[in-house]
Amino acid sequence: MAQNLLTPALNVFEQMALDETLALCSSAAPVLRFYHWTAGPAVTFGYAQFWDFVRPQTSEQKGPVCRRPTGGGVVFHGEDLTFSLIFQSTLNPKNIYAALHAAIERTLSEQAHVASSRQGSVNIQAYKPVHNGQANGCFVNPVQDDLLLDGHKILGGAIRRFGSTVLYQGSLQCASARTNPIFRHAVAAGAARWLNTAFATVPVERKILDAARDLAHRLYETDAWNKKF
């Protein structure tokens, strides 16, 4: 059964670790998870980005900074609706990204009355870890099939494969995205529509949460991970 997973409030290191833990122990059924954040801002940056470029752009950030297991650019988390989706697929990441965002775009229009559009093709430079001498910012340089509203990016995500399991991590950044439940419902409906499934809301298992917290301590909190490139 597909799950909409409820978790306690987690910090950024625990959020990244839980997504990886869920991907590694995933069954065939999809798992959708909306992040429940501990108080305060945080930053994530793409797996392939260079710490020496990321740090100057996040030096004034009061919250913690963490390298994601997925790609993409620097993302500032404060009022965004952050979520992950774990599922089985043989599609390539480009096709997954386009299809999932198209489904979410449709439900945002239907349920949240957000008339977004999708970014067309872009220069290859937009995908690189460094752009114009700075760490690429996810919401500064939209890539193909990101969602835009009035010319500004509102939805972006990044993907990583664990064998046949796909981990998608996304961020919806528009007014009241995190606090207005209509956005959560629209994203969930879009994911359900694309995967042709229904999500049952369930709490995370304690053993999964414990494993994620252990992984956060062993890996995601460490300089060896965050400064590895």
Domain contains 101:
yes
Residue 20 included in any domain: yes
The DSSP bridge pattern shows strands 117-118 and 147-149 to be: antiparallel
Q: The tokens of 33 are what?
A: 């998870």
Element (H, E) at 147: strand 147-149
**Percentage of residues in the chain having pLDDT higher than 90:** 76
Work out the percent of the chain whose per-residue pLDDT is above 70.
92
pLDDT in tens, 14-71: 999 999 999 998 777 899 999 999 999 999 999 999 999 999 888 777 789 999 999 9
Q: How far apart are CA 128 and CA 111, in angstroms?
A: 34
pLDDT in tens, 96-108: 999 999 999 999 9
- Does any domain span residue 58? yes
Measured CA to CA, the distance from residue 53 to residue 229 in angstroms comes to 10
- Chain-centre distance for alpha carbon 176: 18
Instruction: Give the HSE-up count for residue 1: Cα atoms under 13 Å, Cβ half-sphere.
Output: 7
Asked if 92 contacts 146 with a C-beta cutoff of 8 angstroms, the reply is no
The domain tally of the chain equals 1
Give the mean pLDDT of the chain: 91
Asked if residue 196 is part of any domain, the answer here is yes
Within a domain: 229: no
Strand partners, 88: 165
Expressed as residue numbers, the domain containing 107 is 3-224
- Chain-centroid distance of CA 171 in Å reads 5
DSSP classification of residue 221: T
Instruction: Look at the pTM and tell me if it is higher than 0.75.
Output: yes
Do strands 65-67 and 42-45 pair parallel, antiparallel, or not at all (unpaired)? parallel
Q: Per the domain annotation, does 104 fall within a domain?
A: yes
> What pLDDT does residue 86 have?
97
- The two most distant CA atoms of the chain are separated, in Å, by 46
Nearest by Cα to 171 from 55, 48, 54, 42: 42
Q: Output the domain CATH number for residue 200.
A: 3.30.930.10
